[in-house]
Amino acid sequence: MHNSDRLPPRVTPRRRSGRHRDPLSFDKWVGTPPLVLVAYGPAGDEADGTDFATEMVDLVRPYRPETSLHLARTHGEADRLAGVLAEVARREGEQRNNPCDAVIVPLVAGPHQPTLAAIDEAVRVTGVNVRVTDPLGPHPMLAEALHLRLAEASYVRADRMRLISVVAPSDTMADGVLVGSAGGPDAFNAAGITAVLLAARLGVTVLPAALDDPAQVEQAFAQLAAAGCRRPVIAPSIVGQEFPAAEIAALAGKHGARASAPLGANTITAKIVALRYAEMLNSLGVEQQAALEDLPAPAGARHRREN
């Protein structure tokens, strides 16, 4: 027998898919400005012959497939920043549907002053309407990326699931880490935050130091030695060419230490790039979390609209 007094089944509203799904929205949205990744230095200057900036573009693309992605560099002839911005602005001028001509994400681990100055100069020369995001760090995931580089070099241990170190005494495991920055005092301050986050993951003494300040590096290694560290390692908090790899190796040799690889291009740094871009879109009002009126109404007779 049908019971007319029975309440309809409760249906939980489902959030809309697409651009309201999460901070890394994957669906096409008119009004999404181009994303320009700016790498410090010229093309093809890495010691191992690889180009981390090109790899970074390939890694970021799956996170933002709907966005026009461009690579620019602060030095050299190929992909020079001013030329890339001028071309992007020309294309956007033809469409005229975006809140700005481009969003720039600096591919640096902290406020690297030479990179930021190059961006400011290129914007001044071209007059392009752009928005510049924060650098990749400080960010908790940047500490995870440094941890990964240290683990790849067998200087620390990493759990497969949670990437938590369990350091055991050995001749290869680091008992102290120096997080090296480059680019000025603000970059050093950012490295200090990353060092705190990395220390929480490793359970060993971790100190920041500006790689371009020999006196500061000397002091940091002295502090590590005073803390009982006998197997120190330099973890360069740099993404690409902000500080020469040969000089990092020289610093490590001078102080009886070893060094892990720079952050470079990997899925962690690529995801931070995508998050920085999403943060800027949120501030521009292009992407935001779903509002109440965007959610579908619950199903059922007692939720029907009155005529």
Write the pLDDT tens digit of every residue in 272-302: 999 999 999 999 887 654 444 544 444 444 4
CA trace torsion 185, 190, 196, 197 (10° rounding): -170
> Residue 298's CB: how many other CB atoms inside 10 A?
13
Average pLDDT over residues 96-109: 88
CA distance 145 to 68: 26
Q: Domain of 203?
A: 140-259
Cβ 280 vs Cβ 249: under 8 Å: no
Per-residue pLDDT of 147-158, as tens digits, reads 999 999 999 987
Q: What angle do CA 42, 46, 47 make, to 5 degrees?
A: 145
Q: What is the share, in percent, of the chain residues with pLDDT greater than 70? A: 75
Among 124-138, 164-178, 231-245, 273-287, name the one with the lowest average pLDDT: 164-178
Cα distance between residue 121 and residue 297, in whole Å: 51
Q: Are residues 96 and 206 in the same domain?
A: no
Q: What is the pTM of this model?
A: 0.80
| Same domain, residue pair 255 and 144 | yes
Q: Is 14 within the bounds of a domain?
A: no
pLDDT band for position 255 (cuts 50, 70, 90): very high
Percentages (nearest 5) of helix, strand, coil residues in the chain = 40, 10, 50
Between 113-126 and 81-95, two packed helices, what is the crossing angle to 10 degrees? 50
Contacts of residue 132, Cβ cutoff 8 Å, sequence gap at least 6: 103, 104, 106, 116, 119, 123
Contacts of 126 (CB under 8 A, 6+ apart): 82, 85, 86, 89
Least confident of 3-17, 131-145, 227-241: 3-17
> Residue 92 belongs to a domain with what CATH number?
3.40.50.1400
Question: Pick the residue with more confidence: 299 or 52?
Answer: 52
248 lies in the same domain as 151: yes
Judgement on whether residues 132 and 270 belong to the same structural domain of the protein: yes
Q: Is 144 within a domain?
A: yes
On whether both 153 and 122 belong to a single domain, the answer is: no
Residue 78 located in a structural domain: yes
**Residue 306 is assigned to a structural domain of this protein:** no
Tokens 């898919």: give the residue.
Answer: 17
Residue 44 vs residue 144, higher pLDDT: 144
pLDDT value at residue 51 = 86
DSSP string, 178-196: EEEE-SSHHHHHHHHHHHH
What CATH number corresponds to the domain at position 196?
A: 3.40.50
Is the pLDDT at 135 greater than 50, yes or no? yes
More confident residue, 290 or 262: 262
Per-residue pLDDT band for 34 (boundaries 50, 70, 90) equals very high
Structural domains counted in the chain = 2
pLDDT of residue 289: 47
Tell me the C-alpha to C-alpha distance, in Å, between residue 118 and each of 41, 78, 121, 243.
Answer: 10, 15, 5, 16
Q: Is the same domain home to 76 and 168?
A: no
